[in-house]
Amino acid sequence: MTTSIRNSLSLEDTIRAYIALTKPLIVALLVFTCVTTMIVAANGMPEPRILLFTIIGGILSSGGSGALNQYIDREMDGRMMRTARRPIPSGRIAPMNALIFGLALIAWSVLLLGVFVNWLAAGLAFAGAIYYVVIYTLILKRHTVVNIVIGGGAGAMPVLVGWAAVTGTLDPQAFLLFAIVFYWTPPHFWALAIMVNKDYAAVNVPMMPVARGEKVTRLQILYYSIQLVIITLLPGLMLLLPNAPIMLEGVYLVSATLLGVGLIWLSIKLIQVADKPTARVVYKYSSSYLALLFLAMILDRFVMAFIRTLT
């Protein structure tokens, strides 16, 4: 049956299936955080050649990791309503083809980043793929309730790749940006887990709502949201410390404060109104939250640079 489905697909449908295999929305967000970090590290636009090849390498690495994740989770995905239409369980892509495709994307990513950017960036991209595919998907996801907490480091690796691409090293500022994505991950994905709790319970994945219950999960979402907001405001503290490098300034700090207030308010509301529609609101807001926060970083660097030209 699955072979006949694949044989009936047009070239356009096949291409779409392979694009879906890479989880393009996640890829877009990860690459955006990487590019933002490059702008912060360069205090403006990075060298065009470095920017171009880092974007290509980031797309390939993230996309390859997504493909391998779907290869490993293919049986589980087929049993969950949310993921049953993914390319492998729906029969549009053969599992072995997905495996080869994912490995090839990661290999090309490492090669391009190493040759055209630097080998530190290439090594970090490869480490991020191993983190997501092996540490999170194979080990953590199936065996521990803190799978998302520890696994959040995989989604934060593009930040380190971006910083290394520009500077050739890793400074403390890079790890602060890493921490932002790391602490954003639990409240974001736990809100999703509340929405699809029955799916995860059906396949015995110990997400927080399954293993500890939804009440505990809502409290944890608030707890991690508060920590996240505090971390996002640390660049403001750096402005007060003597001889500390200027990382982000007024435009970012105002945006981070407003976005953080919104996140904490919705997290409290999720405790007060314990239902799935509210969890959906938190999930959607947290998605926009990270994108808007990193957009504020870009605006901060360019606006502050423009202001300095006027003074």
Q: What are phi and psi of 244, to 5 degrees?
A: -80, 140
pLDDT for 7:
60
pLDDT for 239:
81
How far apart (Å, rounded) are the C-alpha atoms in residues 292 and 296?
A: 6
pLDDT for 237:
84
- Residues 6 or more apart in contact with residue 288 via CB below 8 angstroms: none
pLDDT for 4:
60
- Along the 311 residues of the chain, how does pLDDT read in single tens digits? 566 666 677 889 899 999 999 999 999 999 999 999 999 999 999 999 999 999 999 999 999 999 999 999 999 999 988 899 999 999 999 999 999 999 999 999 999 999 999 999 999 999 999 999 999 999 999 899 999 999 999 999 999 999 999 999 999 999 999 999 999 999 999 999 999 988 888 888 899 999 999 999 999 999 999 999 999 999 988 888 787 788 899 899 999 999 999 999 999 999 999 899 999 999 999 999 999 999 999 999 999 888 877 87
Tell me 206's DSSP state.
-
Q: What is the mean pLDDT of the chain?
A: 93
Residue 142's identity, in one-letter code, is R
Q: Which of left, alpha, beta for 207 (phi over 0: left; psi -120 to 50: alpha)?
A: beta
- Find the Cα–Cα–Cα–Cα dihedral 64, 66, 67, 73, rounded to 10°: 150
- Residues 6 or more apart in contact with residue 112 via CB below 8 angstroms: 53, 56, 57, 60
pLDDT for 244:
76
Contact 20, 139 (CB under 8 A): no
How far apart (Å, rounded) are the C-alpha atoms in residues 72 and 17?
A: 17
How far apart (Å, rounded) are the C-alpha atoms in residues 291 and 273?
A: 26
pLDDT for 128:
97
Picking from 95, 192, 104, 213, the residue whose alpha carbon sits closest to that of residue 148 is 192
How far apart (Å, rounded) are the C-alpha atoms in residues 238 and 165?
A: 23
pLDDT for 290:
97
pLDDT for 236:
87
pLDDT for 307:
83
Contact 224, 260 (CB under 8 A): no
**238 alpha carbon, distance to own chain's centre:** 25
pLDDT for 3:
62
HSE at residue 83, side-chain half, CA atoms within 13 A, is: 22
Show the tokens assigned to 121.
């960036």
